[in-house]
Structure 1
Amino acid sequence: MAVTYIVYSVLRVFVIISILLGVCSASLSSMAVSSTTDAVLIVVDQSGGGDYRTIQNAIDAVASNNSELVYIWIKPGTYRFIRSDFWLSREKIVVPADKPFITLSGTEASNTIITWNDGGDDIFNSPTLSVMASDFVARYLTIQNTFGMSGKAIALRISGDRSAIYGCRILSYQDTLLDDSGRHYYYNCYIEGATDFICGNAASLFESCHLHSLATTFGTITAQHRNSPFENTGFIFVGCKITGVGGGTALGRPWGSCSRVIFAQTFMSNAVSPEGWRGWDDPSKERTVYYGEYKCYGPGADRSKRVGWSRELSREESAPFLNKSMIGGRSWLRPTPTHFKKHLPRPTGVEIDGEN
């Protein structure tokens, strides 16, 4: 029995490593080069075939002030319900500030889904997934909030520094992605919403992402919250694609008085409104925002009717924003782990949602 279990464990780790390396190889070219990286491997499986049944339990198992890379591999499924003895609820996930260096990874965003349906005026408490820790990575997940059109409903909140999101689908209607604070990198993600569906005051680079507007007449992609010209924050979109169901979506409106958003080399469908950008209550913001476009193309990229307070950037003006320098990415973006260690033991004396 013991020999069988050891063989099974070795095979399981081998299979998981093979899967992870296969699906992640495409992203390596966009990250800083490193020889090898080791990570602690934790497997989440709703059916009980992993180390934990829920994502939150796996996160809770990571030691406070962790200094190791922890790779939490989430097996396919819709992570919607947690079942304990007498209660049933959806899974809402928090990566606390004292647990850095965590990766949450599926194998495909289409079959690894984290969902919740909370909403209202409190944008900081509605997210399906809240990331407060630094050095967080998400790969190949769908993160969604199904609250609908009735109010603000965040799917993903990122408030920690040095976060990277690869190949994820982020879905809601209003305020889908609360890109709150810190330096962040998004690569090959699909982000969907209608109103201010990328908002916050982070310094973020979105590369090769697909932005899809659900707005039929009046929508806004970004609501960036920079309030001072001395803040090195803003949303930069490079090589992205914008689509939508209607023709009235603005590229952004200023949540902050010095809001900064740049679209470069991005395809814009006719979902983008001719004026391109929209004001927000205070006309004085139009004098202090920095809204730029550089070599965008498609029917929505025609600048002939753009608002006068947006700008078409020159090559020199756009150059600082076309790489990872604004987010300092080459110093902290890391490749997929190539070696995995045994998963962390369950903390002594900690009861974890009925798991024994």
Structure 2
Amino acid sequence: MGRPAAMKIYNGFAVLLLVDILVVLGSFMAVSSTTATGVMDMSTALLIRVDPSGNGDFKKIQDAIDSVPSNNSELVFIWVKPGTYREKVAVPADKPFVTLSGTKASNTIITWGDTGEIIDSATLSVFASDFVARSLTIQNTFGTSGKAVALRVAGDRAAFYGCRILSYQDTLLDDTGRHYYSSCYIEGATDFICGNAASLFERCHLHSLSSGDGAITAQHRNSPSEETGFSFMGCKITGVGTALLGRPWGAYSRVVFSLTYMSSAVVPQGWDDWGDRSKQSTVYFGESQCYGPGANRTKRVEWSMSLSNDEVAPFLTKDMIGGQSWLRPSPTHFKRGSTIIPANANGNN
């Protein structure tokens, strides 16, 4: 009654929504993506709103994800309004091209407190390909006495921007696939970035809660033929006590830190062989142009490497994860039904 439906959507939705949502939209290189039906439109996304007060499409994040059709073939942008969401969330493998976005990580929190098997304990599990998360806190509050994954990423082509990932043991199970983490804060004590993905961490803050015997990374590469490994570029390492840069979960574990600030939280030896001396000849643990009190390599284990410019070059580009072909821009238009609204409809750019 009164205004037509399109005007209701515009006034009641776009103006209110887009003022906040522009906060989380960055400018990234435009790419195209192909699906079974041809080239996907990277500029327009179906918008789904999650609001715990009931003023959105769903009150729970999982309900919003469940509403995405199986074998999805269009961009879906799930906007999570500020709040604390006490739920265990999974993005199934048959629901690709989903973005899960808050407005600020400090006020948009997904939290649970599970333990048990490492692959089952995650607060947020991502099995779908072409997933994006922005401006969220993802945490596991189980505590210090067991495996407690906050985020498990087991889908290919996943990217995380400005997220806070918090737990104590096995915080980020960077399981399988190619992944990109930009400006994320990752906190834990024991092997808190682990798994066998091929991942680039750029401008991330790694904070260790270890009092002296914990490791930041536990990469799980099992053979020299696997194109997996963790690269940390332009990152920052801090801690409440001291911690190792990494130890080998797999015999051919591969981890590289470059251009990274290392506080005194990094122990002088840097790396550990996890009690298996045979791994010293097979792991690939490297550092390049790092700085800060923890970056002094004079007391590093002799089987770690100081990488030359040529040696480190492959770890300083998104090519290591094939990112130039799949890292997608933020959508510039959103649609609800047949109504399409530009992201700058309220005059902001």
TM over 0.5: yes
Question: Secondary structure at 1:326's aligned position in 2?
Answer: helix
The equivalent of 1:310 in structure 2 is 304
CA contact (8 A) 2:31 2:326 kept: no
Over the aligned positions, Cα root-mean-square deviation in angstroms equals: 1.5
Aligned residue among 258, 263, 284 for 1:264: 258
- d(CA) in 1 for partners of 2:66 and 2:89? 10
Change (3 A) 1:257 1:36: closer
CA contact (8 A) 2:164 2:184 kept: yes
- d(CA) in 2 for partners of 1:243 and 1:113? 23
Alignment of 1:271-290 (within 5 A): 271-290=265-284
Which amino acid in structure 1 is aligned with residue 258 of structure 2? A
- 2:205 aligned with 1:199, yes or no? no
In the TM superposition, residue 283 of structure 1 has moved relative to its aligned partner by 1.3
- 2:16 aligned with 1:22, yes or no? no
Structure 1 spans left out of the alignment, 5+ residues: 81-90, 345-356
The equivalent of 1:76 in structure 2 is 82
Change (3 A) 1:277 1:343: farther
- d(CA) in 1 for partners of 2:256 and 2:50? 38
Which amino acid in structure 2 is aligned with residue 53 of structure 1? K
- 2:102 aligned with 1:96, yes or no? no
The equivalent of 1:341 in structure 2 is 335
CA contact (8 A) 2:287 2:305 kept: yes
- d(CA) in 2 for partners of 1:170 and 1:2? 46
The equivalent of 1:213 in structure 2 is 208
- 2:153 aligned with 1:158, yes or no? yes
- d(CA) in 2 for partners of 1:15 and 1:343? 18
The equivalent of 1:67 in structure 2 is 73
Which amino acid in structure 1 is aligned with residue 327 of structure 2? L
Which amino acid in structure 2 is aligned with residue 68 of structure 1? E
The equivalent of 2:3 in structure 1 is 3
Alignment of 1:162-241 (within 5 A): 162-241=157-236
In the TM superposition, residue 33 of structure 1 has moved relative to its aligned partner by 5.4
- d(CA) in 1 for partners of 2:88 and 2:189? 23
Question: Secondary structure at 1:22's aligned position in 2?
Answer: helix
In the TM superposition, residue 216 of structure 1 has moved relative to its aligned partner by 1.2
* Deviation string, structure 1 residues 14-49 (Cα, Å, up to 9, x no partner): 432343233323xx24x4457961100000000100
Question: Secondary structure at 2:159's aligned position in 1?
Answer: strand
In the TM superposition, residue 219 of structure 1 has moved relative to its aligned partner by 1.2
In the TM superposition, residue 218 of structure 1 has moved relative to its aligned partner by 1.2
- d(CA) in 2 for partners of 1:240 and 1:230? 27
CA contact (8 A) 1:41 1:342 kept: yes
Q: How many equivalent residue pairs?
A: 329
CA contact (8 A) 1:135 1:162 kept: yes
CA contact (8 A) 1:32 1:331 kept: no
Which amino acid in structure 2 is aligned with residue 136 of structure 1? F
- d(CA) in 2 for partners of 1:65 and 1:105? 21
- 2:323 aligned with 1:322, yes or no? no
Question: Secondary structure at 1:325's aligned position in 2?
Answer: helix
Question: Secondary structure at 2:110's aligned position in 1?
Answer: strand
Which amino acid in structure 1 is aligned with residue 113 of structure 2? N
Change (3 A) 1:33 1:66: closer
- d(CA) in 2 for partners of 1:263 and 1:297? 11
CA contact (8 A) 1:21 1:338 kept: no
Change (3 A) 1:48 1:315: same
**TM-score with structure 1 setting the length:** 0.90
- d(CA) in 2 for partners of 1:338 and 1:14? 15
Which amino acid in structure 2 is aligned with residue 16 of structure 1? L
- d(CA) in 1 for partners of 2:297 and 2:229? 21
Question: Secondary structure at 1:157's aligned position in 2?
Answer: strand
